[in-house]
Structure 1
Amino acid sequence: MNIAEKKRQNNIAEYIIHMYQSEDLIRAFECDIDKVKEYVLKHIPTEGTTKKELEHWYQQLLERMQHENILSSGHLKETHEIVAQLDELKQELVHNDEEFKSIYTKAESHIQQMLQLAEGKINSEVQICLNGVYGLLIAKINGRDIPDEFRESIEEFGNVLSYLSYKYKQKHFLSNN
């Protein structure tokens, strides 16, 4: 099982962020799989078939990006569908799960603030949380300072995503036995 599939089964929010990062990695190397192999995959400490599987996974991802016409921007349809599933789960939990209600209430003002800043370009509260966490990751990679008010927002977004991921895993990957 590759890294992406492990993340998909164990923490769906991490999986989505991994997919965003992988798409951006391919774009950073001009959608040239040979450059990805040379400058990235070659330096990942794996051996034998694992390395080949990783190369195959990136090749398949590139092909999917080409097929869906998202080579310059955007995300895979499958990833959008998972975000939509998480939005539905969020709606369900807000009405039926006291623990989630408490977590969501702490994050709600931060989410609403970011929705306003998005000026209608993003309507999904889950997408706002994912973008915040992914944005923090990119900012850290680029050595940028993160203002304290954004750190607080991102922490609350992370709490929402963690709980949603836990419930998603229960619903999709754990048996009722």
Structure 2
Amino acid sequence: MIVANEKRKKNIAEYLLYMWQVEDLIRANHFDIEKIKKDIISQYDQPEAVKEKITRWYEELIDMMRTEGVKEKGHIQINQNVIIELTDLHLRLLKSPQETVYGAVYYQTLPYIVELRSKSGGEKLSEIETCFTALYGYLLLRMQQKPVSEETQQAIKQISSFLALLAEKYRQEKAGELNLEEK
């Protein structure tokens, strides 16, 4: 909750990856709030009142995951909404004549997106969700200390740059600093 709130304010891409990790932590702990309290929440160096808020936050996420049918896989609607928002912004950035740098970075990333989508086994993900899925998969491989090919590392580097730029544009838009209208 504390980390999520900070990340949401500073970097929407990091926020989304963090929230996907929280979903996986909930799954790994079998939706058992007592286990989550013992293994995760107890590690926070926070007063009891804050730990109670964190516990309620996890309980709400558990309820959402159950209600929305994403116990095995998938993402809760609040996380899907971030993807939808980012996809909408992405499309508006591509149409904006002022955003030539964004367009150039996107077109440098596009071959990797196309390749990833062809390997996805027919799963219909947006380009933005494809990028996040690739980055999250890479992070999981790194945490498991599994080898990653040079080719994959190159793709992840480009995708990371693209998502970082999109996240910055999102921050600018939320701060009222982004004007996509034609001049």
Could you state the TM-score of these two structures normalised by the residue count of structure 1? 0.92
Which residue of structure 2 aligns with residue 95 of structure 1? Answer: 95
Task: Work out which of the residue numbers 96, 108, 119 in structure 2 matches 1:117.
Answer: 119
Which residue of structure 2 aligns with residue 104 of structure 1? Answer: 106
CA contact (8 A) 1:2 1:53 kept: no
Alignment of 1:12-23 (within 5 A): 12-23=12-23
SS at match of 1:99: helix
Alignment of 1:11-160 (within 5 A): 11-96=11-96, 97-160=99-162
Gaps of 5+ in 1: none
The residue identity in structure 1 corresponding to 2:29 is: F
SS at match of 1:20: helix
The residue identity in structure 2 corresponding to 1:21 is: Q
For 1:143 and 1:119, locate their aligned partners in 2 and report how far apart those are by CA, in whole Å: 25
Q: Deviations over 1:4-56 (max 9, x none)?
A: 12211221111111111001000001110100111122123333333222222
CA contact (8 A) 1:93 1:101 kept: yes
For 1:44 and 1:136, locate their aligned partners in 2 and report how far apart those are by CA, in whole Å: 26
Q: Deviations over 1:49-107 (max 9, x none)?
A: 33222222111111111221212211011211221221121112123211101211221
Q: For the aligned residues, what is the CA RMSD?
A: 1.6
For 2:88 and 2:58, locate their aligned partners in 1 and report how far apart those are by CA, in whole Å: 30
Gaps of 5+ in 2: 178-183
Which residue of structure 2 aligns with residue 166 of structure 1? Answer: 168
- C-alpha deviation, 1:150, in angstroms: 0.7
The residue identity in structure 2 corresponding to 1:63 is: D
Percentage of matched positions with identical amino acids: 27
For 1:40 and 1:5, locate their aligned partners in 2 and report how far apart those are by CA, in whole Å: 17
SS at match of 1:57: helix
For 1:62 and 1:119, locate their aligned partners in 2 and report how far apart those are by CA, in whole Å: 28
For 1:70 and 1:27, locate their aligned partners in 2 and report how far apart those are by CA, in whole Å: 10
Could you state the TM-score of these two structures normalised by the residue count of structure 2? 0.89
